[in-house]
């Protein structure tokens, strides 16, 4: 996630909160040296 992307996510979460829509957590998906640092869901 770039700094710009992280800022956009933060602003979106704030808008959701301000609108009364709670969120529990955020999952960030990272690549390391071009390799996924996360697993795909079954069938993807």
Which of 1, 9, 14 has its CA nearest to residue 26?
9
pLDDT of res. 30:
86
Residue-wise pLDDT tens digits, 1-41 = 567 777 888 899 999 999 999 888 888 888 899 899 988 88
pLDDT of res. 7:
86
CA distance between the termini of the chain: 21
What separation in angstroms does the CA of 35 have from each of 4, 11, 16, 32?
A: 22, 28, 32, 5
Handedness of CA 33, 44, 6, 23 (dihedral sign): negative
**Structure tokens that stand for 2 in this block:** 């770039």
């Amino acid at each position: 996630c770039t700094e710009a992307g992280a800022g956009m996510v933060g602003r979106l979460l704030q808008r959701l909160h301000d609108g009364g829509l709670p969120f529990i957590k955020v999952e960030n998906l990272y690549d390391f040296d071009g390799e996924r640092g996360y697993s795909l869901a079954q069938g993807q």
